[in-house]
Amino acid sequence: MLSGKRFRLKAETIAIETNGDKRIAIHVPAGSVVTVEIGPRPDDRRMLDILWEGRKIVMFADDIQKRGEPAGEV
């Protein structure tokens, strides 16, 4: 489980942010620290619920593992 772990992104990475009924692709810059709130999800092992700068976003687990480095636990 990755829940509760923090990662520093080594490269810009795409995420999905929900705004009302819309899902919007956003770019999370390299150097950003993200916190895995939940994940991988039981219904979709590929997705993680992430907290980044006070925003709730969704990222692929594979992206976090390939483009992130551990930054401690919450």
The pLDDT tens digits for 27-58 are: 999 999 999 998 877 777 799 999 999 999 99
How many domains in the chain? 1
pTM above 0.85, yes or no: yes
Q: Which helix (H) or strand (E) holds 6?
A: strand 5-9
Residue that is written with structure tokens 């810059």 in the block: 29
Q: Residue 40: its pLDDT value, please?
A: 79
CATH of the domain at 11: 2.30.30
| pLDDT beyond 70 at 26 | yes
Q: Residue 74: its pLDDT value, please?
A: 62
Domain that holds residue 53: 5-73
| Gap between the terminal Cα atoms of the chain | 14
| pLDDT beyond 70 at 73 | no
